[in-house]
Structures are given as C-alpha cells and as structure tokens.
C-alpha cells in the first residue's frame, strides 16, 4: 500500500525563503495580515486532511468507481467520498481563498494552491469535486449579475453546492465553435437550454445538495463559430427566491464514461431537455467569461500532475531504499545483506531524481504563478497588477502542459523503479500513471497549450510579455553573474535566455511565411520555454540554499536542494538543445507526407 507525507518543509522553503510571500502580502491590503505563522498553521492542518482523510480513499475509490442509476439519473460516488466531503466542508476548506463578502476566509490564492497540491497527491479523483467549484466561483465573481452572485456564490463558497463547466459535446472537443446546444429566451428573462454535453467532470454526484453547471450554448440568432457562444448558469435544482431549492431542473446524467483513470470522479454525459438557465455576461461573449474558469482549471490541472509527481516520488524513494537486488557496480554497499538496495544503481537514482526535480521545479512555478495571481487581483499599484496578469497569462500554458508532461515522465519513471511490482495494483503506482494521463488531455490538450503559448502569448504581442519574463531572468543573472558558486546554475540559464530570443524570432519569421511552421514548432517550443522557467526557479532556489550554507546552516535540506538543482541542470535541462533543433527542422518533414499517411 502506498503512503503520503505532505511536503511542508519544501513548501515553506519556496513560500518564505525563495519568494518571501509574507512580505509580498504586506503590500496588498486584502492580505496584509497574512503572515508566515498563519500560512504554516493552515498548511499543516491541510496536510493532515489530505493525508488522513482523502488519501486512504484513493485506491478504494479507483477500484469501486462511480455508479449511475439509469432510471433516476442519480450517481453514487465511491465509499467514503461523501463523508470526506462533509468533513471538508465542516473544516471550512472550500472558503479558504474566497472573498469574505460571499462568506470566504479571504486567504491568498497562494495558500489555496498548496492545499490543492496536497489534495491532488492524496486523491486527484476526489479533489476534482470541490476543485471545479473554484472555477465556477471565479467565473461568476468576474461575470455574474448581482442576482447570480447573491444566489450562487455563498453556497459555492461554503461548499454546500458544487460547480461544473459544461463545454464539450460529442462532435466537438477543443473546437467549441462547433457546439450545438441551444438556449431559447423566455418571457420572464430566463432561457431554456437543450443539447448534449460529454466528459463533464463531477457532472453528477451525491456529495452536495445542488450542482451549479456553467453551460456554453447558442442563442437563436447567434453568429456561427466561437463568436456566437453564450454562457449560462444552469442549476441541478432550480433555486427559489428565498434561496431554498425548488424543482429538479431537466439537466440529467445519461451515462458515465469508462475511463483509463480517475475512476472515483464521475465523468458524466449530460443531457439538457429544456433546462432553465440564466445568462452569464453578455450574449455571444460566453467564451470570454468561460475562459476565467478555463484558465483557473489549466493552472489546477498542472497542480494535479504536481501532486501525483510528488506522491509517486515519495513511494518510489521508499521502495528503492528497501528493495535489494544485485550488487553495486562500484562494489558491495550493504555487506550485511545478500544484495544491495536498488537505490545504489545510477539509473534508479536518475529516475528518482527526475521525479524529485520535476516536483520541486513544478512547486516553485505553481507558487510563483499563484503569487502573481494574488498581485493581479489585490496589489494597489495598477502597473504591478497589469504586469502580474500578463505574466500569469504567459505562464498558464506552460504550467498546464510542461508540468503534466513532466508528471507523465515522472510517474512512469517511479513505476519503473518498482519493476514488476509497479505493474501490480496494490502498490498504487500504476494508478498514479493512469490518473495522470488525463491531465495531458483535458482543459485543452498540451498541443493546444503549445499553440496558445507560441501563437497567442508570444508571437501575438511580438514577444512583449516574453521580454518581461526575460527581464526577471536578466536581473538574477546580473545579480549572481560574478558569483563563482552560482556559475553552474546561472550560466546555463543566461545562455538559454539569450538563445530564446533568437529562437523565437526565427520561428516567428518562418511562421509569418507559412503558419504550419508555428504548428510544427509549438510543442518543442513550449518545452524549451518550460525549461527556461524551471531553470530560473532552480537558480533562485540554489541561490537561497548557498546563502544559508554560507551563513553557517548545517541543515541537510539545503545540501539536498543544491544536489537536486545540479542534477536538473546536468541531466534534464540539456534536452533544450535537441528541442530547439527539432523545432527548427520545420514543417516539411511533417506536412509533405501524404504517401506515408495514405
């Protein structure tokens, strides 16, 4: 059976020693009272819930899955899920980072991100039920009417109700411009929605008394394509004027998808048969409103893979220390045993360190991004808010695609550490692999994220936001460029930063002549950009570790951080050279292949 220990020490290191979040919060009136002790206390309790309540349900939830009663359309979640959610609500966890005016606790997004990393390590399928509610909350805060906010937000914040987003239809996935669900206006100002949705995570369940669906649909006079999409809030049960629940709305689960992983989450097929809804935002501008939820979800999906990378690493490390097989190539290490623990073998260490590096780099990037979100929402300086918002937009596709790709690499590597036992269900490793695999697909496939990064976020504004990221990197390079102890971290970062400008310009010029060049280079480009950001994170973490050691600290944590950083730069970062070469190879080898793909 697998185990899980919340990585509180590493979280505290990133929060307080690398990014000094408490000082950053002092500049934001909404969070000025949030100090390090408060953050640490909250995360310690969050870790207990994740490890002691959510984690023990993970394997059982995967085995049991969800059950649909086709007659009543009711879905039953795995044993213990409903009770765990009740504990979650009682503990006030859904309200952690929500606005106090709606009943929230008003803590920073940065703290909430750490909570969700631990929950995703513990049980991704369970965590998706409350997780999707946050996206619905954010969308309604940004675009909901006062009546919608009054009706839905306090219940979403308390956790009494959960939320979903209903986008995908059987004939269209990412291309939402093809969707057919219709919304007919009614005399009382409401709408009646008819259509079918698929792949709706947490689309039906027994954990909360109501579900608030955010649904994309078309008005009768809507233009074709994505410019004709509107957003509607459609509750499972209609809500009376006094806030009590009314009649059942005809938005039903008609089937549950049979999936590779996340079996404990109800991935629903949804039918709307004249369901009552209300318009969110302006007519035909639903995608802009929905993108608030989608962008939150993309950061959340990156966090899912971060959580799985961490828990997979922990279990693989424990196994590698205990499992004995063969002798070390450099001589016997465990003289009192018949063989050496497999952790002595170089390639086992490579697999373990790959997962460790991708977990620690991903954690630093996630905390960096959520700190930027807090600045974008709450900093009093408009320029800081604007710059933070632009950087988050640039980094969102990297978080989603790079961290989930790394999660795939890491969970597979950790399963490999177990050898044949990794393929056996009771060890838990194969579930981490299966659960992670969806993260590379939903909320926009990683190829779509790559096109978004290169086409929209970089070339779309002529590299302006990329230059702002480059400026941050340049400041660190200038600060530490003459420090010999930092050379092994700074020099590769500085080199790639310089190469990135030339690389981007070259791809952009070729794409201007032939758009397929952008499509051919995008996936490789995003991975290079991901390594640029991770290199910056590891350089900053190494900077802190070296300073602590120089100040006399003998804490092995700092030595471990330096060793992980050295591994990252020596064994993982160098793939950027290959990626830039394959990106520069162009589109011809892909597109001039009609005979090969006949």
Residues with a catalytic annotation lie at 443
How many C-alpha atoms does 290 have within 13 Å on its Cβ side?
Answer: 25
Cβ within 8 Å of residue 241, ≥6 positions away: none
H-type alpha helices, 273-325: 286-322
Distance CA 379, CA 488 (A): 35
CA 68, 69, 71, 72 torsion: positive or negative?
A: negative
Q: Which residues pair with 245 in a beta bridge?
A: 239
Sheet strands (E) in 409-560: none
What CA–CA distance (Å, rounded) separates 524 from 533?
15
DSSP state at residue 597: T
The 10 Å CB-count burial string (b at 16+, else e) for 21-31 is bbebbeebebb
Cβ proximity of 398 and 529 under 8 Å: yes
| Nearest CA among 72, 76, 214, 248 for reference residue 132 | 214
C-alpha torsion sign, points 431, 447, 360, 575 = positive
Report DSSP state, residue 134: H
215: alpha, beta or left, given left = phi > 0 and alpha = psi -120 to 50?
Answer: beta
Hey, is 33 helix, strand or coil?
coil
Any idea which residue has 């669906």 for tokens? Answer: 213
In the block, residue with structure tokens 């809804």: 277
Residues of 589-598 as b/e, b for ≥16 C-beta within 10 angstroms? eeeeeeeeee
Alpha-carbon span 391 to 369, nearest angstrom: 8
Q: What is the 3-state secondary structure (H, E, C) of 231-253?
A: EEEEECEEECCCCCEEEECCEEE
CB 311 within 8 A of CB 432: yes
Among 307, 339, 294, smallest CA distance to 320 is for 339
3-class state of residue 434 by DSSP: helix
């Amino acid at each position: 059976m697998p185990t899980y220990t919340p990585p509180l020490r590493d979280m505290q290191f990133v929060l307080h020693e690398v990014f000094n979040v408490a000082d950053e919060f002092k500049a934001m009136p909404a969070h000025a009272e949030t100090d390090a002790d408060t953050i640490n206390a909250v995360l310690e309790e969050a870790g207990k819930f994740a490890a002691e309540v959510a984690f023990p349900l993970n394997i059982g939830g995967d085995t049991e899955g969800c059950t649909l009663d086709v007659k009543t359309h009711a879905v039953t979640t795995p044993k213990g899920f409903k009770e765990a959610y009740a504990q979650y609500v009682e503990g006030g966890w859904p309200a952690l980072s929500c606005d106090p005016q709606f009943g929230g606790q008003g803590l920073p997004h940065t703290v909430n991100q750490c909570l969700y990393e631990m929950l995703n390590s513990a049980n991704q399928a369970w965590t998706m039920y409350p997780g999707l509610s946050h996206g619905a909350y954010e969308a309604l805060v940004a675009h909901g009417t006062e009546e919608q906010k009054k009706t839905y937000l306090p219940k979403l914040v308390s956790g009494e109700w959960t939320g979903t987003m209903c986008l995908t239809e059987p004939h269209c996935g990412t291309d939402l411009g093809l969707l057919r669900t219709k919304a007919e206006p009614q005399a009382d100002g409401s709408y009646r929605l008819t259509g079918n949705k698929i792949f709706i995570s947490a689309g039906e369940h027994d954990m909360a008394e109501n579900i608030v669906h955010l649904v994309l649909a078309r008005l009768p006079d809507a233009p074709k394509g994505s410019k004709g999409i509107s957003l509607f809030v459609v509750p499972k049960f209609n809500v009376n004027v006094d806030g009590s629940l009314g009649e059942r709305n005809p938005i039903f689960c008609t089937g549950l998808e049979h999936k590779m992983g996340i079996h404990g989450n109800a991935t629903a097929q949804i039918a709307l048969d004249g369901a009552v809804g209300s318009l969110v935002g302006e007519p035909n501008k639903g995608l802009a409103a929905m993108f608030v939820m989608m962008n939150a979800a993309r950061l959340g999906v990156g966090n899912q893979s971060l959580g799985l990378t961490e828990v997979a690493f922990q279990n693989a490390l424990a196994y590698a220390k205990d499992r004995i097989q063969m002798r070390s190539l450099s001589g016997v290490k465990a003289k009192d045993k018949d063989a050496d623990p497999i952790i002595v073998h170089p390639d086992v260490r490579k697999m373990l360190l790959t997962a460790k590096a991708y977990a620690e780099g991903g954690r630093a990037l996630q905390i960096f991004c959520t700190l930027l979100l807090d600045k974008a929402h709450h900093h009093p300086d408009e320029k800081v808010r604007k710059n933070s918002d632009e950087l988050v937009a640039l980094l969102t596709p990297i978080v989603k695609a790079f961290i989930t790709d790394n999660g795939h690499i890491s969970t597979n590597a950790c399963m490999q550490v177990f050898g044949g036992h990794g393929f056996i269900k009771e060890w838990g490793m194969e579930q981490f692999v299966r659960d992670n695999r969806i993260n590379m697909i939903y909320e926009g496939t990683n190829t779509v994220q790559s096109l978004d990064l290169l086409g929209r976020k970089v070339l779309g504004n002529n590299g302006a936001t990329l230059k702002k990221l480059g400026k941050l990197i340049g400041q660190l390079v200038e600060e530490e460029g003459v420090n010999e102890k930092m050379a092994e971290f700074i020099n590769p970062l500085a080199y790639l930063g310089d190469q990135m400008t030339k690389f981007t310009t070259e791809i952009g010029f070729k794409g201007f002549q032939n758009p397929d060049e952008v499509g051919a280079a995008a996936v490789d480009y995003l991975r290079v950009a991901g390594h640029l950001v991770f290199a910056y994170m590891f350089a900053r973490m190494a900077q802190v570790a070296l300073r602590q050691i120089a100040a006399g600290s003998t804490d092995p944590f700092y030595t471990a951080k330096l060793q992980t950083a050295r591994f990252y730069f020596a064994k993982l970062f160098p793939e950027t050279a290959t990626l830039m070469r394959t990106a520069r190879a162009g589109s011809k080898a892909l597109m001039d292949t009609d005979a090969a793909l006949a």
